[in-house]
Structure 1
Amino acid sequence: MTICCALTALCLAFIWGNSLLPGNVSGAISDEVEHILETLLLEVEALPEESPVPLRKAAHFTEFTALGLCLTWLFGMLRKGRLPAFLCGGAVACVDESIQIFVPDRGPSLGDVGIDTCGVLTGLLLLSIGYHCLCKRKKRHLGGT
């Protein structure tokens, strides 16, 4: 339980910490990461030279997928179910975008709330499917049907 809470807190700190960065700082970080990824992907020819990498949207989705995994794990251990985990993730997405109202050169985006919420749902589904498969495998291994 302690590990789960710590991972959830780290996800929240990462998400909200990035939202607190001024637009120019956030943009510079995104540009640098995008340059590194484009260089790596072009070297293995995984990305056409003219193709832009939608890094910010992918980052939103990825960080909220991680949060969805953590929240589903946490709420599962608390026996609260998946819906509260999903709703909590959606609330985090709304708070995340609201933070940006008060940060220089940043602003909220309803589209980002949607991307973030889809990330939470993806994390929830990944953990739920993985857990289901693990339980079926364990049951078969123990001789059940």
Structure 2
Amino acid sequence: MKNNKRTLRWALLIIWMIIIFTFSQLPGNLSDEQSHAVIYIFKLLGLRLDSFFGDLANFAVRKASHFSEYFILFLLALNLTKTYFNKWKSRNIALLIVFLYACSDEFHQIFIPGRTAAIRDVLIDTCGGLLAYLISTLISRRRQASN
């Protein structure tokens, strides 16, 4: 049973990495279209991001997507690494995975038409992982305090 759980955790992490890679593989114009689609969906829900953020709505959606993708990546990496290491070490390794994957993702985008590599995006991605790190630490400490 333990091997099945570990295999599932590896699979989830790899699948999520493939999803991130697939989004990064899109040329710049298609990526922009996705952002505009998200803005439109929010508009249908009664939230006008373009009136809130103005011309920066597309930028805000793109960066929020980066942040969210890597928040989830951290959680999946943590879920896997905790089967191999203690809590502290597994969190640090999971954050390292987030940072390294963000770096490789930005390098990959150099080769995609209409896309560029940006250190800013690596920082945003890593901050998504860092927030997940902090939340997981707080939850862990709260659980320890209640026991």
TM-score by length of 2: 0.81
1:118 aligned residue? 127
The amino acid of 1:27's aligned partner reads: D
Please tell me whether the aligned partners of residues 67 and 120 of structure 1 are also in contact (alpha carbons under 8 angstroms): yes
1:142 aligned residue? none
The equivalent position to 2:67 in structure 1, one of 53, 61, 72, is: 61
**Structure 1 residues 41 and 123, CA gap change in structure 2 (3 angstroms):** farther
1:90 aligned residue? 99
CA RMSD of aligned residues (A): 1.9
The equivalent position to 1:23 in structure 2, one of 28, 33, 42, is: 28
Q: Which runs of 4+ in 1 moved over 6 A?
A: none
Please tell me whether the aligned partners of residues 43 and 49 of structure 2 are also in contact (alpha carbons under 8 angstroms): no
Greater per-residue helix proportion: 2
Please tell me whether Structure 1 or Structure 2 has the larger radius of gyration of its CA atoms: 1
Count of matched residue positions in the alignment of Structure 1 and Structure 2: 134
**1:59, distance to aligned residue in structure 2 (A):** 0.4
Identity of aligned residues (%): 34
d(CA) in 2 for partners of 1:123 and 1:65?
Answer: 6
Deviations 1:14-42 (A, max 9, x none): 11111111111111111111111133143
Q: Please list every run of 5 or more consecutive structure 2 residues that lacks an aligned counterpart in the other structure.
A: 1-5
Asked if 1:133 is matched to 2:142, the reply is yes
d(CA) in 2 for partners of 1:108 and 1:89?
Answer: 16
Deviations 1:76-112 (A, max 9, x none): 2110612222112100000011110000111111111
TM-score by length of 1: 0.82
